[in-house]
Structure 1
Amino acid sequence: MNHLIALDWGTSSFRAYLLDAAGSIVETRSRPWGIRQLPDGGFGGAFAAMVAGWPDCPVIAAGMVGSRNGWQEVPYLDIPAGVDELAAALVPVAAPGGRVVHLVPGLHNSRGPDVMRGEETQLVGALALRPPPQGEATVVLPGTHSKWVRVKEGVVTDFVTTMTGELFALLSRHSILAVEIKPDAPLDVDAFSRGVRTARASGAAGGVSRLFSTRALMLDGTLDASSVPDYLSGLLIGEEIRSTLADGRMDCTLPLRLVGDAALGARYRMAASDFSLTVSPAVEDTAAHGLWLIARRAHLHERTIHGVSP
């Protein structure tokens, strides 16, 4: 396989990578063409425009492109599952120019129930780039829908989703707690830590029961309006950690690994320290490596050469 085109195609964004035979990134392209913001021509048109001029080579894609509202729905795989199971379950979709896009399935957890789509590929890349010393770890993927994942020898054995990022967006923009958020404002560490400690101290009631404290602290002058977003962020992340520890499904005595945006990961590391947890620095941009590994395990180069689709 001289080259591979790897697509990370989500709800709001579309990123494409041209990889060489060793899995190194030759070129990256990005467009705001998530599955809800497609250009003229739909999925096929977006794909053709994104890969124009790139070699005729195998193509693999992960993310919401394989969801019910995506290019073609790809059934979830039940866990336990790892890279071998993902590679064996790729679904081919015909694309413009005679190409075939191989869609990666998401994962389903009957305990919950719970699902993930896209994060499984980030996990594959992250675990290969930084293997857990003992082969077992708890991995945290912060984001709109944060995931806590148990992995053993590269296999996902359990996971839990918390809607922390989406709750923050809704509360900070569309509730009585909404204030103007300045994108480049530095983190108010004191306000953030206060929010984390409030969630930690909420006990059986939970951090959600303390949400209105955000407004009360602002009204009595204890919390400046500009610090409200960081207090609320700390409260919600703190509640995510508190509830996960209380639930007991994630073994937090294992090495805790962060995968995703470094800035958001820094908040999680700060919050975790208030719970006496140690979390590794975040590993970023692992989707491309994960896609390359899945493609290699699926022998896409051989299937393309012999004209065989999975």
Structure 2
Amino acid sequence: MSFVALDWGTTALRGALIAEDGRVLDERSAPRGILHLDGASFDEVFEAFTQDWMAVPGSRCLIAGMAGSRQGWVEAPYCACPCGADDIARQVVPVQPGRIDMVPGLVDHQSGVPDVMRGEETQILGAMRLTGLRDGLFVLPGTHNKWARVADGRVTGFRTFMTGEFYALLSQHSILSRTLQADAPLHEAAFLDGVGRARQADSPGLLHLAFGMRALSLFDRLSPAAAASYLSGLLIGEELRAQALEAGTPVVLVGSAALTERYALALDSVGVPAQLLDAQATWAGAYAIWRARQAAG
């Protein structure tokens, strides 16, 4: 029997109808994230979005993402690391018992300051299923990037970096916004220059390097078209500098092509190969949780 999987985030709502063997039968999306309900209730948005899929008697739905947050439909408590599909499946929260379930997020307490994710846990499980890997480093670029360690099929820990949000703030609301072309395509040389400068052993730090971008433009050494890529490189390079990377050891990247391409370039520059996956990892992860739920009865 097929089931419905939703990835209900802050700005967007995506869904898939998934067959019993894991095949994606249908997909759809809408700009109806939890902050864009336009006066409607969660229940109303859900019914309108899934009406034909959920019309079949006995239909079930599994929801991951920010819909399970405190600001969402039903808060689903965090599952503590280490955590795998079986652990997550045992802690799903019923929204409508026997019809709709909410996937919990993950929490990592290892650093002394809690780190959390919602939605990415499903993508990581899907990435493991798609790649066949049960150990390794899984990176999910986005507004808040996740670097997750996996061992024996379980997420043992992770760290979040606000790289995407800092890029938006600096490129749109700082003095640097006047020196860059926000919609410029990737300028590979400028991007790698930024990565390299940020990763230098004697780097003066991101705060100084960011201002240096302003100075480079004043002396016509950095064009507006290249400046956006340079800034992106500085931020991603700073992020990489905080990682314990091993040359030759592959990393799995999960996310949009535009972002994973940049991370793959940055990782390649330090001798780390990457395997790239797209949004299909979400549906593969939802299927993994679904299967674990079915197995548990």
- Mark yes or no: TM-score above 0.5: yes
What displacement does 1:39 show? 3.5
TM-fit CA distance, 1:251:
6.5
Look up the match of 1:130. 131
Shift of 1:77: 0.8
Q: Give the letter aligned to residue 66 of structure 1.
A: G
CA distance in 1, matches of 2:84, 2:208: 38
Alignment of 1:227-246 (within 5 A): 227-245=226-244
Is 1:35 the counterpart of 2:34? The answer is: yes
Asked whether the 8 Å contact 1:206–1:243 carries over to 2, the reply is no
The structural deviation recorded for 1:204 is 6.2
Report the equivalent of 1:140. 139
What does residue 201 of structure 1 align with? 200
- Distance in 2, Cα, partners of 1:48 & 1:252: 49
1:64, 1:118 within 8 Å by CA — same for their partners in 2? yes
Paired residue for 2:94, among 89, 92, 95?
A: 92
Q: Distance in 2 between matches of 1:296 and 1:92?
A: 17
Aligned residues: 291
Deviates more, 1:282-291 or 1:169-178: 282-291
SS of the equivalent of 2:42 reads helix
Amino acid in the other structure paired with 1:38 = L
Give the Cα–Cα distance (whole angstroms) in 2 for the partners of residues 254 and 202 of structure 1. Answer: 21
Specify whether residues 36 and 161 from structure 1 end up closer, same or farther in structure 2 by C-alpha distance, changes over 3 A only: same
Residues in 1 aligned to 2:20 and 2:271: alpha-carbon distance in whole angstroms:
43
- Decide whether the 8 Å contact of 1:9 with 1:34 is kept in 2: yes
SS, match of residue 5 in structure 1: strand
Structure 1 residue matching 2:150: 3-state secondary structure: strand
Q: Of 271, 274, 297, which aligns to 2:266? A: 271
Task: Note closer, same or farther for the CA distance 1:193–1:145 as it changes in structure 2 (3 Å cut).
Answer: same
Find the residue that maps to 1:61 and give its secondary structure: strand
Matched with 2:251 is: 256
Alignment partners' CA distance in 2, 1:100 and 1:252: 47
Point out the more displaced range, 81-90 or 204-213: 204-213
Corresponding residue for 2:16? Answer: 17
Counterparts of 2:216 and 2:205, CA distance in 1: 18
Question: How far is 1:282 from its partner?
Answer: 3.4
CA RMSD of the aligned region, Å?
2.0
Q: Percent identity among equivalent residues?
A: 42
1:291 corresponds to: 286
> Where in structure 1 are there 5+ consecutive unaligned residues?
304-310
Structure 2 residue aligned with 1:306: none
SS in 1 for 2:168: helix
Alignment of 1:183-202 (within 5 A): 183=183, 185-201=184-200
Whichever residue aligns with residue 232 of structure 1, its letter is L
Q: Is the 8 A contact 2:11 2:33 kept in 1?
A: yes
8 Å CA contact retained: 1:5, 1:16: yes
Unaligned stretches of 5+ residues in structure 2: none
CA contact (8 A) 1:192 1:230 kept: yes
